[in-house]
A and B are shown apart, each in its own frame.
Chain A
Amino acid sequence: MLKELLIQYAFFLHGSKRYKKIKTTFSNFLLNSDYEYKKYFDIFMISLIIVSIAILVYEVKNPVPDWVDFFDIYLVTAIFLIEYIARVWVHNDWHKQVVKEVGEAQFLNRKVSLWIPTKETLKGKIRYLLTPTAIIDLLAILPAYRPLRVLRIFVLFRVFKLLRYTKSINQFLSVLASKKFELFTLLFLLVFITVTAGIAIYVFEQNENENIESIFDALYWALITISTVGYGDISPVTPEGRVVSMLIIVSGIAMISFVTSVIVSSFSEKLDELKENRIIEELNKKDEFMIICGYGQMTRMFLRYYAQEYTNRYIVIENDKERVEEAIKEGYKAIHEDASKHDVIKCFNLQYSNITLLALTGNDIANIYITLNAKSLSRKIKVIARARTEKMVKKYQLAGADSIIRPNIIADRMLYTAITQPVMYKAIYAILTGKNMALLDEINLTHAELLIGKTIEELEFKKQKLLCIGLQRAGEGGAFIFNPAVKTTLEESDILLVMGRKLSIEHFRNIYTKVKYV
């Protein structure tokens, strides 16, 4: 009976959109660095940690008011506890395991066991609880327990807790982690020299030097000396001991230089990567952005004219290091990566952001591969690709490109217009480049609700010094009505195509978007 109820409950949770939404929200706040509100949560937690550390340190020697104690014992600890529980909760899903188990049991025609999913879930949670960050989280809660003053030492874990919320420290640690082998080798060498020197000094001076009474004193001396700190509380008195001193001082200096060079070199190696990751992280927080693949002539031209319009909303991915450097020198945001790689595009916030990918390399094969790569990751990504030849257009369409640019064809048609329609070539050019005097612009009725239900006649375009060129009806296959009749009524989500001076269009837009807030 209880088993059935639990299974039903698991299925209820599995199907509940509300539960899923709540859990996703918690997960976003706690784990998703691309979530736009996570930074506020992080700032809140960092402030809380700093305040609680300050209180705990202050009250070591000074009495604090009751309310401060209350704040620290109950509020801060309660928040830390809730956060800890929430992290354990979002780590994995019991109901998913139950649903999986029921499916498998039905398929294999066996009895459903609740123990298997519960065990799997618990295993996952225990595995999480044993991670260093989870242990730090737990220990950071302990200083609140006042009767045991020794627990105050765990205030240090609140400091460690900051690691979770500060990216730079994490990045520093990750850089060190990448040089684990070198650092461990040096550490081993350090231990070896310290122990050898400690034993040597113990053997040489145990009877001669009153400050060296045990092997611990000898090891302590060796470590203080090798680190070049040299307190001077213990110093060798025999010639043999002094020789040992000299040797370990020299090796100590060498080792410090080694460690420094290892850390510096790993930083310089990782610096570009860190910078690139930072750019991607910043971009992932935007609702919409653009990935430009390739830094060739077309990208240069596009950025020359439009980079300002897309400030902080684009990134150039180029696999030629020199070109990346050139782009950066020009002041553009570029990273050295291969856009045709699955993992590179996967780094972007494919789920929440509206991404437009421009495949503008000079190579059709690369562009098609980039298009396929992007579309295989998310159909939502809008791809605008450059095709070098007409023959390739079909392939781009099959790969899923939303728009295909053929520079030569566009230029040919412009040339043709310049010859056949010379007077108005300039006019078309002005329209195409969006010059102030004649802008061809779109007014989306989704953003100008007051236009819905109005007829073309009622909008008095002539009076507004505008031309109504056409009307795009809503939906994918919506018809485009050129020069709509005066009695045509505007409908929800239609797009009006108007032409006129920028000033006139903005005025018109203001009338039909601002009034609704009055």
Chain B
Amino acid sequence: MFNRKALMFGYSNTTKFLAENLTKELHYLVIIVDDDDSYQAAKKAGYRVKLLDITDDDILEELDVDEDDYLICVMKDHYINVFLTLSLHSLFPKTTIIALSDSYHATQKLKMAGATRIIDLYQVSANRIHNILTKPVATKLIERLFSPEEDFSFKEMLIPKNSILDTVMADDFDFSKHGIILVGMIDKRLSNQFIFITSGLENRFDVGDTLVCIGYNDDLNKFEEYIKGKEDES
């Protein structure tokens, strides 16, 4: 993940939050704005920032974007946000575009414009309200999982070569011993899709599979280290 870049279009509290929290996760992160005020503000705040005319495809085309990178569209004006998404999708069709939406209609348009993931500000809040009403305990847990400042989270782990888990059946391995819960995985043997462990399929761990676990950060990190080594036969 560390060799990936993120290009964030727009300067807002969201951009600031992401810029502050993603520095450890990404190789390069830049904020791209189309007005001088935002440019000056972002620069003053110490972020890496570029001032570009984002409606000009020729300028966008010159951006250094790889397939594995992230293009994050969080422009305040949703007309520009949709237009930008469309431009980026036409220029970099294989790159992940994540866009923020503030209405149901904008979400539909962003989908059509080619955004890979759309986070609808109000939809996620509506879900949250519903969850608070119907599942307060679960909601609290989810809040903890989503909060970067909490010591409790989800983690994706790739099964490396010579891993202790290689060729082990999912049902045979006791995760609770490590204080974590395996939620699901990408079992490459079956498909490239994420499968919940409760889906009823017989999953086998192989090198290259991705595990998704929840637990305390310390336990998750320890487990990640643990699966790297081949178990001592003795």
Contacts and interface: CB of A to CB of B under 8 A. Distances in A.
A305 B123 contact: yes
A467 B171 CA distance: 12
Contacts, number: 192
B22 A420 contact: yes
Contacts of A358: 129
A89 B152 CA distance: 62
A298 B103 CA distance: 9
A118 to B, nearest CB: 51
B179 A301 contact: no
Interface string A414-435: 1111111111111110011110
A423 B125 contact: no
Interface string A467-483: 10110100000001011
A427 B193 CA distance: 10
Interface residues on A, range: 35 or more
B1 interface: yes
A497 interface: yes
A410 B145 CA distance: 12
Contacts of A424: 154, 156, 183-184, 194, 212
Interface in B176-234: 176, 179-181, 183-184, 186, 194, 196-200, 210, 212, 214-216
Contacts of A300: 104, 122
B127 interface: yes
A414 B128 contact: no
A86 interface: no
B198 A422 contact: no
A140 interface: no
Interface stretch (A142-150, A279-287, A499-507): A499-507
Interface in B125-153: 125-133, 135-138, 140-142, 145-148, 152
A411 B124 contact: yes
Contacts of B196: 427, 437-438, 499-501
Contacts of A306: 126, 130
Contacts of B84: none
Given A403-B132, A418-B117, A482-B215, 9 more contacts: A300-B122, A408-B14, A415-B100, A417-B146, A419-B6, A438-B198, A470-B141, A480-B137, A497-B138
Interface of B: 1, 6, 13-14, 17-18, 21-22, 25-26, 70, 72, 74, 96, 98, 100, 102-104, 117, 119-133, 135-138, 140-142, 145-148, 152, 154-156, 171, 176, 179-181, 183-184, 186, 194, 196-200, 210, 212, 214-216
